[in-house]
Amino acid sequence: MRLRTIRERQGMTQETLAKKAGVSRAYLSRLEMGRHDPPLSRVRKLAKALGVPVGELLK
């Protein structure tokens, strides 16, 4: 998942994205490190918070 790349490209902190997506910063960090595979519903929330299509995160 390209979560960190997209977040950093937008100049967004983990804390900001976590709040926008309704997840904890620690959970977001684990996702970015590849330690969790989020359910599709969570991927959708992250994509919406980043303003990108779901497919962009999954490339």
Residues 6+ apart with CB under 8 A from 54: 40, 43, 44, 47
| pTM passes above 0.75 | yes
Tokens describing residue 12: 């967004």
Burial pattern 1-13, b for ≥16 Cβ within 10 A else e, equals bebbebbeeeebe
The pLDDT score that the predictor gives to residue 4 is: 97
Domains of the chain as residue ranges with CATH: 3-58 (1.10.260.40)
What pLDDT sits at residue 13?
A: 98
List, for residues 1-47, the tens digit of each pLDDT value: 899 999 999 999 999 999 999 999 999 999 999 999 999 999 999 99
